[in-house]
Amino acid sequence: MGVEEEFLLVNPRTRLLAPMAVPVIATAQAKLGDLVTPELTRYQVETRTEPHHHLSALAEQLYAGRLHVSRAAAVHRTRLVSSGTPVLSPAGAPPFMPGKRYERSERMFGALDEEQVCCACHVHVGMDSREEAVRVSNQLRTWTAVLTAMTANSPLWNGRDTRHASWRSVCWARWPAAGPPPYFTSAAHYDDAVATLVGTGVVLDAGGIYWDIRPSHHLPTLELRFADAGLTVDDTVLFTALARAAAATALADVRAGTPAPRPDTHLLRAASWRAARDGLTGALLDPLTRRLTPAWRQVHQLLTRIRPALDQHGDTALVERLITRLSLHGTGAVRQRTALRHRRQPADTLDYLLTHTLTAPSSLRH
């Protein structure tokens, strides 16, 4: 498994986004090399890990990545924030990173690009073949809503509460190839769909396929892309553990010949939207039963289903500890809103994010 995390850069005095990605990345690369890379705008930075088998080593590298980029940001008088959306933004369109691909994207998508100052967490799970990756994706589609709810960390946009726990998910769903992935009968079926979207100019290239789950176009992995950037390293580690266990469970079903469920696409999209709106504080739409059920009931159903895989990977104890913490303190979205209620000032939420982005993971505190 490997992880990509996207972050925002903020001016600590004005608390507005800071367009300092170019110098921050250049400075951070002295320590991280190509494990730190640009994103769409000059407000954003992305880090990625090497492949890992154990969560403790992954957590250590995730924390080190945040520390190194944070120190590089400090050199340029900016701070690092991990949130799915910015709390406070300067007026006008964001400044984009230089590069031909970003220039093409801006020409093709216009205001869509301008409103995508959003940060996600992507987990890559190793797969033996693209054929199995596609079939595992089919199995996982009905679980993305509850995992979206568990990882919600983007309730604010331009200083106000959007009334959605994951506003980033709502923004991202507007892209032409985004949201729950279609059901594919084979890797060839998937490749044909991607070739059609690219060939007709709907997306820039294979990297512009933004479905919630997709076979990586450059790695032997299945990529789970629907989580907001985790507020803390622990949030990211929990999502990674659940993603790997869910993929392993789905792979076992594939190899056992268990047919993947095929709920209507509109139900999957509705379930994803409901999860993005309510997070874990309400009810989620179960696309299989077509009924609303309490969010935490779906969490426990997921945990029960993937428990054998968690046990196999040795992740059960850590996941149980992090789930307990999630139930006590809430998602990143809940914690952001709690900070906002303190004085009803968006700056309070930003100060909270600045502090907790660099909280050491529990695996390093025990």
pLDDT in tens, 96-140: 998 888 888 888 999 899 888 999 999 999 999 999 999 999 999
Give the residues across from 307 on adjacent strands: none
Strand duo 210-211 + 178-179: pairing: parallel
The DSSP symbol for 134 reads: H
* Residue of 3, 257, 248 whose CA lies nearest to 143: 248
CA 229 to CA 119: how far, in whole Å?
6
**In this structure, is the dihedral angle defined by the CA atoms of residues 73, 74, 80 and 86, taken in order, positive or negative?**
negative
For 8-50, what is each residue's pLDDT tens digit?
A: 999 999 999 999 999 999 999 999 999 999 999 999 999 999 9
As beta bridge partners, residue 210 has 178
CB contact at 8 A, 36 and 46 = yes
Residues 231 and 166: their CA atoms lie apart, in Å, by 12
Mean pLDDT within 310-321: 97
Q: Looking up tokens 């176009």, which residue turns up? A: 217
Question: Which pLDDT score is estimated for 366?
Answer: 54
Residue 151: what residue type?
T
Higher per-residue confidence, 114 vs 229: 229
Share of the chain above pLDDT 70, in %: 99
How many beta carbons lie within 10 A of that of residue 67, not counting itself? 14
Amino acid at 146: V
For domain 2-361, the CATH class is alpha beta
Which residue in this structure is represented by tokens 């921050």? 24
- In tens, the pLDDT along 140-185 reads 999 999 999 999 999 999 899 999 999 999 999 999 999 999 999 9
- Residue pair 302/275 in contact by the 8 Å Cβ criterion: no
Q: What is the mean pLDDT of residues 75-99?
A: 95
Structure tokens at 70: 């944070």
Give the integer Cα–Cα distance in Å for 361 and 59. Answer: 7
Residues making up the chain, counted from first to last: 366
Q: What is the mean pLDDT of the chain?
A: 95
Tokens of 64: 């080190």
Q: How many Cα atoms sit within 13 Å of 22 on the Cβ side?
A: 7
* Confidence category of residue 344, pLDDT binned at 50, 70, 90: confident
Inter-CA distances, 316 with 8, 144, 166, 239, 361, Å: 32, 20, 27, 13, 16
CA distance 78 to 80: 7
pLDDT over threshold 80, residue 363 = no
217 — pLDDT class (breaks 50, 70, 90):
confident
User: 293 phi and psi, to 5 degrees?
Assistant: -135, 150
Per the CB < 8 A criterion, the answer to whether 226 and 168 are in contact is: no
Q: Which of 176, 170, 146, 173 is nearest to 156 (CA)?
A: 170
Region of 160 (left: φ > 0; alpha: ψ -120 to 50; beta: rest) is beta
pTM of the predicted model, to two decimals?
0.97
DSSP count for the chain of H helices, then E strands: 14, 13
DSSP 208-261: G-EESEEE-SSSSEEEEEEEEPPSSHHHHHHHHHHHHHHHHHHHHHHHTTPPPP
Q: What is the pLDDT of residue 364?
A: 65
